[in-house]
Amino acid sequence: MSADPLLQEVLAGWDGEAVMTRYDRQTGSWFFVAVHDTTLGTPNGGTRMRVYDHAAAGLEDAIRLAEGMTRKWAVLGLPFGGGKAVLAVPQWPEGDNREGLLLRYGGFLETLAGSFQTGVDLGTTPEDMLLIGRVTRNVHGVDFETGRMIDPGPFTARGVLRGIEAALEAVDGDPTLEGRSVLVQGVGDVGEPLAGLLAERGARVLLSDLDVERAVRVAGELGAEVVPPSEVVGRACDVYAPCAVGGVLTRETIPRLACRIVAGSANAQLGEPGDADRLHARGVLYAPDYVVNGGGAAAFGLLSLGERDEERIREQVDGIGETLRSIFGAAAEGGGTPVAAADRRVAEALARGREPSAAARVRAR
């Protein structure tokens, strides 16, 4: 298979540091590891697996998500750089084909000599990370002594919960979820535990998923309502929580939103930068995705740094709520969007990281 002619065009328009790639002949898949910024430390980000229309779309996803990871680590205050991996597969791999693909991907990561570390993302599972961990130790969440994998989903869900509470407080002056309606789009590794947390706190939970049977099952367990995927955007609710794929907030969908808050775990929710202004103009409070979905990254980042105190890890995740309160406050004070306020934090963190004393500390690690 020859290289997609669009790959060079995608790379030419990117300001990141590097892309490492490999073509997997056995499956016709492309491996993309995009490194956006190493100012704060070794690049860290999940591995996404998806079927794309063409390889360049997978590369676009990787570089967009890598930039989001730079922002996420900077806001969390953890010493990692922005990176992301995408396995662009021509069809969904099953059984031995999937195992072989993941083992070869792990071997590819091993050749990068620790310059990128990864974990679970959309389309991959904790079990996949255990498999990749057979051939490389550049995997987060794997306890190599016991062979146990820690699932980041519940940590991410906890952070989103705190973000929703902060957003409700910013809008209504009250973070209480009792009686509030929250539409969770995507009942997967984050959406399902998030729905459970919301239900425990008395929220009226609405669930939607392309896998309707899954949505019906979880809804039955929680006493939630199922919303058909085609009705998500226009469904009235207090909070819309996108927890599946990104790019759901666009110039086409934003005018149809019937919510007051958007706060979910999906990466890269905005179709383009101007969509933050469109949300603001409509009076919809948007929790920047790279802030509100940072719970899993925070937990795994701390674990990789040697933290084993579960209470301290939970405190870091819960701190996402306070971070968003500060961001919402700064946006309100300055009259701008929460995205602009969050991006200023990122710029300040990266500027500090580029100071000579900070660079020396990074090299010492």
Which of 211, 167, 165, 166 is CA-nearest to residue 189?
211
Q: Output the six-digit token pair for 63.
A: 């570089």
Q: Number of C-alpha atoms within 13 angstroms, CB side, residue 164?
A: 31
CB-based contacts of 172-179 (< 8 A; 24+ apart in sequence): 176/201, 177/201, 177/202, 177/203, 178/202, 178/203, 179/203, 179/204
Tell me which amino acid residue 324 is: L
Q: Output the six-digit token pair for 169.
A: 């407080």
Please report which helix (H) or strand (E) contains residue 239, including its range.
strand 239-242
Are residues 98 and 25 in contact, defined by beta-carbon separation less than 8 angstroms? no
Q: Output the six-digit token pair for 304.
A: 């990789």
Tell me which amino acid residue 274 is: G
72 carries an active-site annotation: no
Angle between helices 338-353 and 356-364 (to 10 degrees): 80
- Residue linked to tokens 């990117």: 14
Which of 30, 28, 12, 29 is CA-nearest to residue 20?
30
Separation between Cα atoms, residue 34 and residue 61, nearest integer Å: 9
Write down the catalytic residue from 48, 84, 104, 278.
Answer: 84
Separation between Cα atoms, residue 190 and residue 187, nearest integer Å: 7
Distances (CA, A) of 349 to 269, 298, 317, 342, 352: 23, 16, 19, 11, 5
Are residues 50 and 88 in contact, defined by beta-carbon separation less than 8 angstroms? yes
By annotation, the residues acting in catalysis are: 84
